[in-house]
Structures are given as C-alpha cells and as structure tokens.
Amino acid sequence: MPQLDVSAVLLFQNHEELIGTIVARIAAHLRTADISFELLAIDVDSQDNSTALLTLIRAQHPELRIGKAAPRRAHDQAAQQAHSQVLWFVSPDNIADALAWFDHTYPRLRERELDLATHRERGTLAHRGRTDLVFRGLRGRTRQMPHELTTRARRLGLVVEEHPRPRSQRATRSRWLAPLFSALSFDPSI
C-alpha cells in the first residue's frame, strides 16, 4: 500500500440522509488538494441505513473503507485502523466549515508546527506518530473527545491547538477587564 498523507475518519451514527454527500465532499476536496488519502467511515452504533448506503457508493469512492466501533471507544479503534501519518476526525455536522478548517490547519500540522489540533464543531487533526499515546485506550463520548485529546496531549508535552477553548480556559470579562475598569476612574462631569 502506498504511503498516504491523510486518513479522514468519519464517525457516524444515524446520518443516513447526509452520509453520501459528506463522503463525496470530503473525497472531492482531498482529490482537488492533491492529497493522497483514505476515508474511514466508522459506524458508531447506527440504527438506520447509513452503512448500507455507504456500501452502495463505495464503487464511486475507492478510498472509502467502512468499519464499526464501540460507541465509547470509537476514536481509539478508528486510530488503530488508519494507515496514514495524519488522522483527521471529520465532524459530519458542518462539513463546509470542517473542510475550511482542514485547509487552514493541515499545512501547519504537516510542517510540524502542531502535533494535535481540535475544534469542537469541525473535527480533530493529529500527527499519528507523535500522538499515538494520546489515542491509546481513549474512551468516552464523541462530544467530549476534543477536550480529552488536548488534555492528554498537553500532559505529554505536545504542541496543541484547541478551538474553542473550554469555558474554564477562556478569558472572561471579570478576570481581565474588571481590573482595567476599576483602575480607570470615569467622571461623567468632564
């Protein structure tokens, strides 16, 4: 098997209405960007016909592989199935934003400016060789994964970018603006 640039991982659960369009858009986008890739569509306990639909469109997308994973171990199991050095966990909820985010973030990961980048609504990009320990044994719900991944990566000293940052790490008005406003005295008579 030739060396692939990216493993685009699409974790899906009951996305029958959108799954064909999402796969087609990801494949077309990566082909246009001249990126060698595989597209892993991982069924996370779907109750609809998503998997059957993917089986039907596989002939149009030779890069497509279909798998199954336990709901609370989907990221770990998908990472084990991937064949490239870069993992891209694509968020199926807003594919246009996910593709734009990939275009912005992937060059920085490829140039080794980043080891891991996460965006709660757009996906996760990770350099597999540097983040293998981050994914190993990972368990939890999909919505919590970006924060869990970045926490693990930071503990290992990896270069991480997280968007949006968790509420606990965001600068709030009370933390950084309050001292500024209290230091300024406002005199309405001036």
pLDDT confidence bin for 141, thresholds 50/70/90 = low
The alpha-helical segments, DSSP class H, found in the chain are: 19-32, 50-57, 74-81, 95-110, 128-135, 145-155, 178-183
Return the pLDDT at 188: 46
Residue 157 lies in a domain: yes
Could you tell me the residue range of the domain that residue 175 belongs to?
A: 6-183
Containing 163, the helix (H) or strand (E) segment is: strand 160-163
Q: Alpha-carbon distance 86 to 5, whole Å? A: 6
Residue 190 lies in a domain: no
Residue 164 lies in a domain: yes
Residue 149 lies in a domain: yes
| Of residues 32 and 119, more confidently modeled | 32
Return the pLDDT at 135: 82
Residue 43 lies in a domain: yes
Residue 189 lies in a domain: no
Residue 26 lies in a domain: yes
Compute the average pLDDT of residues 88-112: 90
| Of residues 78 and 6, more confidently modeled | 6
In percent, how much of the chain has pLDDT > 90?
45
Beta carbons of 53 and 20 less than 8 angstroms apart: yes
Return the pLDDT at 136: 83
pLDDT confidence bin for 139, thresholds 50/70/90 = confident
Domain count, the chain: 1
Name 162's Cβ contacts closer than 8 Å, sequence gap at least 6: 117, 118, 119, 146, 147, 150
Strand order in the sheet with 86-90: 64-68, 37-43, 6-12, 86-90, 123-127, 116-119, 160-163
- What is the domain-level CATH number for residue 61? 3.90.550.10
Return the pLDDT at 167: 52
Residue 188 lies in a domain: no
pLDDT exceeds 50 at position 171: no
> What is the tens place of the pLDDT at every residue in 105-137?
999 999 999 999 998 788 888 998 888 888 887
> What is the tens place of the pLDDT at every residue in 73-88?
888 888 889 999 899 9
- Distance from the first to the final alpha carbon of the chain: 75
| Of residues 151 and 93, more confidently modeled | 151
pLDDT, mean over the chain: 83
